[in-house]
Structure 1
Amino acid sequence: MVAKTALTRRSLLGAGAALTVAMPAIIRPANAAVTLRLAHPADLSHPVHTEAEAMVKRIAERTGDQVKITIFPNNALGSPVEAAQQTKLGAIDMMLFNPANIESMSKTIGVINIPYQFDSYEHAHKVLDVTARDWLAEQLKQAGFTWIANFEWGFRALSNSRRPVNQPDDVKGLKLRVPPELAIKAAFEALGASTQTIAFQEVYLALANQLVDGQDNPVGTTFAAKFYEAQKHIALTKHIYASIMLCANPRVWSGKLNEEQRKIVSEEAIKAGVAARKGVRDNEEANLAAMEKAGVKVTRPDVAPFRERMGPAYEQLRKALGDKTWDEWAKLVAAARTA
């Protein structure tokens, strides 16, 4: 028997009464399987994708196929910015994104991309996973996302077709493609380069046609996209650490998954993130060796002199982020050096 929906009308309660409608709660059967969609920008060979696949398999096994996640890699559901917007709206359930992809939704999340703030992979991991974990989760919550785990792209490297980069002055005068991210643009302009924003899918042709001299990306991305085919040099400048974070739509996270399922997804996501980080680092040297074999010259400059040139970039970013956010974040980054 279907329960009646209670309707209390103004005419029955008097002229001053409000109309109220009691809606029945939507209850998912206890044994109903949950099907989720996960989008990300990585190609099929990248550790982010391979470890996401392993994660999805483990989640299905541990939940008895009650949580099934379908992965849409390589920007299949739209650009990272578009997919992030759709995840916030709930059209996509989960996404792996670079914090830069949601800067229009969160002014504060851009702190992760401050140039030369991280001393090493270990330092970056400690900041994101330990000292700044709660702070970042709150920023993502305010932006409309539930943070689950950290994966990574890796430190960004600079490639170009003109000369080896061993010191800051070697960057001066280069025409560089940059994504629409203030931190990257500000960093290179502080080093004396000129920058041009070009969509990722157009970068290869821009390099091949010498519209720009170079570009920057994590080593794995430069290798996978074959940008090195149009470049003579790559320098491990490590100017910005590129994270990639697994987040969910909050209504999906709390409404479709029960407590035990959320626990399993979180555990397996963290495990996958650790494995993806290791894969990125393991692949980095192999990718560099392959590019060297193809004729690309690799340099590994001391990053300290580059960091010393970041004053103008830091001024721009502090202004964009706000003094309070800048100072709060700086304390969390510093704390990780002694934690």
Structure 2
Amino acid sequence: MKHINKAIFTLSALAVSVSAHSLELRLGHTGAPTHHYQTISEEFAKEVNDKTNGELTVVVYPSDQLGNQLESTEGVMIGTHDMVLSSDTVLSNWFPDMAVLNLPFLLNSGSDYLKVVNSEVGKHLESQVETQGAVVLGWWENGIRHVTNSKKPIEKPEDLKGLKIRVPEGEIYVDTFKALGAGPTVLSFGELYSALQLKTVDGQENPVAHIVTQNFNEVQDYASKTGHIHMGSPLLINKGLLERIPEEHRNTLVEVARSFGQKHVTLVEELEAKQWKELEEKGMKINEVDTAPFRMSVQSVYDKTESKVTPGLISKVEALLGN
């Protein structure tokens, strides 16, 4: 079952399944069952279950079974969904400041990401999310994004000229690929494989885990390690729901979720080398990229973002990273 009718997600039906001694939470994510989203979510669910003696359980739904990421994120805010592994990109549609986490070539690793979100900048972003009815339980990982396409290796910005590249629902991605000369096309993740197969778009950009687990190698010949944008995956829960969980279990849920940020980053780092090798073995042509010319091409993205976010926010992030 790929999608479920949103009409069934009433607060009474979904927000929390309650018996005399137990609570059940539903956690949705966009990754395939073989993606690290599923791995880390299942580990999280097990630890929550163990530490609450089975009185608080988390049931994980992969592959957008509870709705796509944008729908599920909005659902958590309004109380029709329990929890979602969202993205800073999706959240930037409501909170422009979140876009600083996606500025091209600013965050270059999971460690950079954790350094920023575990600072005052992260607290600032969390407070914004709470104004819309959701709570960031933990800052989890997606990874560094790279370009794939069906036509040629991408070695310099000029190679992107004229290519239709699918990007997620975030303005900063559109701006970045326009600055690099490509034709960005916004599509939901669930539509992407078909769009590549039908050649509605020429290429896409994602961390290597998605390239592998979505079998994009079947419809894309080239993968270029552009490493252009980092995307994080904040774990969200509906604020009202969190407040209704008994305090002891609520504290456990928050503590476990927070601790899994570093665990998720480590997991992704351990998987990446194996996943690139797997793609190569499947016949994908992979090339390294000198990112310096790409970095020079995206200054306009910084200028535009600077005008839309809290004054000084980009400088704070740069200072945290020693830039």
TM-score (normalizing by structure 1): 0.84
Residues of 2 paired with 1:338 and 1:103: CA distance? Answer: 24
Match of 1:306 among 294, 302, 318: 294
Establish whether residue 169 from structure 1 lines up as the match of residue 158 from structure 2. yes
Q: Is the partner of 1:143 in helix, strand or coil?
A: coil
- 2:139 partner letter: N
Where 2:47 maps in the other structure, the secondary structure is helix
Aligned residues of 1:127 and 1:332 also touching (Cα < 8 A): no
* SS class of match (1:132): helix
1:39 maps to 2:28: yes
* 1:88-237 matched pairs, under 5 angstroms: 88-237=77-226
Q: Which sections of structure 2, spanning at least 5 residues, go unmatched?
A: 1-17
Check the 8 A contact 1:131/1:333 in 2, yes or no.
no
Aligned-partner residue type, residue 319 of structure 2: A
Query: After TM superposition, what 4+ stretches of structure 1 lie above 4 angstroms from structure 2?
Result: none
Q: Give 5+ residue unaligned stretches, structure 1.
A: 1-28
Q: Structure 1 residue 81 and structure 2 residue 70: aligned?
A: yes
The 1-side partners of 2:139 and 2:82 are apart by 17
Is this contact kept in 2: 1:113–1:240, CA < 8 A?
A: yes
Match in the other structure for 1:336:
320
Alignment match of 2:230 (pick from 231, 234, 241): 241
Aligned to 2:10: none
CA distance in 2, matches of 1:177, 1:285: 24
Q: Tell me the residue number matched to 1:265.
A: 253
Shift of 1:219: 0.9
After TM superposition, the structure 1 = structure 2 runs for residues 11-30 of structure 1, keeping only pairs within 5 Å, are none
Letter of the 2:305 counterpart: L
Larger Rg: 1
Identity of aligned residues (%): 28
Residues 176, 212 of structure 1: 8 Å contact kept: yes
2:239 to 250, 270, 274: 250
Aligned length: 306
Report the Cα distance in structure 1 between the residues aligned to 2:156 and 2:24, rounded to whole angstroms: 51
- The aligned runs of 1:64-79 (5 Å cut-off) are 64-79=53-68
CA contact (8 A) 2:145 2:231 kept: yes
Query: Which residue pairs with 2:12 in the alignment?
Result: none
Asked if 1 retains the 8 angstrom alpha-carbon contact of 2:101 and 2:107, the reply is no
Q: TM-score normalized by structure 2?
A: 0.87
Cα 1:312/1:256, change in 2 over 3 Å: same
> Which amino acid in structure 2 is aligned with residue 81 of structure 1?
L
